[in-house]
Amino acid sequence: MNAPLLDVRDAEIVFTARRGGVTRHIQAVSGASISVARGQTVGLVGESGSGKSTLGAAAIGLQALDGGEVLFDGTPMPAEGSPAWRTLRRRVQVIFQDPFSALNPRQTIGQSLAEPLRLHSMGPRRSWPDRIAELLELVGLNPEMARQYPGTLSGGQRQRVCIARALAVEPDLIVCDEITSALDVSTQAQIVALIADIQKRMGVALLFISHDLGLVRAIADRTAVMYLGRIMEAGPAGEVFETPRHPYTRALLGAAPIPDPVLEARRERIPLRGEIPDPADPPSGCRFRTRCPHAREECAKRTPLPEPAGGAIVACHFWREITGTEDRS
């Protein structure tokens, strides 16, 4: 087996913040592992504040780790800003939520797209206009748009430009951090269809971060579910969505409408009660225990480590009991 393209192992990320004269250590990511194979789409889901963006930033070397490691193509992620990192940054691109702030309003679309070509010396300068036209066509935009400024484009068109810009340098992996959440619903579907199509045609791997379970279900091969800095469940997307084993995954699916009518009819309706606890003072043992309908004493004492469950992994002491799986192998 080849090494995964991206392999984040036991990542720890702690932010130090001062509030009201008190120093707080925010445990944004705590022992989280996630891997993405070449050409694969991995969805990363979880409520706001669960650490998805922080983990995504670590995956592209924009966020240093306090523990664990990030391997890209089998090699440790170089320090941000180093020459090795700049080389690697061509292979790993990122697209963010807000297509309005992502483009320089004083640059034409053509200039915005030429920038990564220049930065990473992608072919001779005279080849760039053709390449830019090709990139615009690839994302379903008129090549004439290269002369326009972002101010004249819709949100969906701008996000298409951001996708074209990420593709300009022929990356192996694109981290997509909530790339549709600033867009209206019909545009969201178009952007997801576009990125899925590009993923298939170009074979690029995606780490698709979203709190929209329907979108992730539509696009991901594998899914990881994150809660308060930890991965609670991960596995093939179909398995995680159809036979969720972790109480958090089950609650998330119960809380969100699912576009698939069969799944929608089958889902459990356990509401996800309460707020995510303070990440500077997380619950002992299982971090989900303060909101888990199945929590018991044991859950406060021992931290559940991810263990194999079918084709997935689950971090819960009692998943077998909860899912009615009697087999205690």
Ligand X SMILES: Nc1ncnc2c1ncn2[C@@H]1O[C@H](COP(=O)(O)OP(=O)(O)OP(=O)(O)O)[C@@H](O)[C@H]1O
Residue number with CB closer to ligand SF4 (42 or 286): 286
Residue number with CB closer to ligand SF4 (197 or 321): 321
53 belongs to the binding site for Mg ion (CB under 5 A): yes
Q: How far is the CB of 181 from Mg ion (least distance, A)?
A: 9
Closest listed residue to residue 29, CA positions, set 7, 51, 9: 51
| Residue 317 C-alpha from the chain's centroid | 26
Return the residue of 40, 53, 159, 188 that touches ligand X, per CB under 6 A.
53
Residue number with CB closer to ligand SF4 (267 or 291): 291
Q: How far is the CB of 46 from ligand X (least distance, A)?
A: 6
295 belongs to the binding site for ligand SF4 (CB under 6 A): yes
CA separation for the pair 16, 27 (Å, rounded):
9
Residue number with CB closer to Mg ion (45 or 133): 45
28 belongs to the binding site for ligand X (CB under 6 A): yes
Q: How far is the CB of 32 from ligand X (least distance, A)?
A: 11
Interacting partner of 318 out of ligand SF4, ligand X, Mg ion, none (Cβ under 5 to 8 A depending on kind): ligand SF4
CB 224 within 8 A of CB 45: yes
CA separation for the pair 223, 308 (Å, rounded):
15
Return the residue of 244, 247, 282, 306 that touches ligand SF4, per CB under 6 A.
247
Residue number with CB closer to ligand SF4 (171 or 304): 304
Residue number with CB closer to Mg ion (41 or 323): 41
CA separation for the pair 112, 80 (Å, rounded):
23
Interacting partner of 149 out of ligand X, Mg ion, ligand SF4, none (Cβ under 5 to 8 A depending on kind): none
286 belongs to the binding site for ligand SF4 (CB under 6 A): yes
CA angle at 256 for the pair 254 and 258, rounded to the nearest 5° = 95
Binding site for ligand SF4 (CB under 6 A): 247, 286, 288-289, 292, 294-295, 299, 304, 316-318
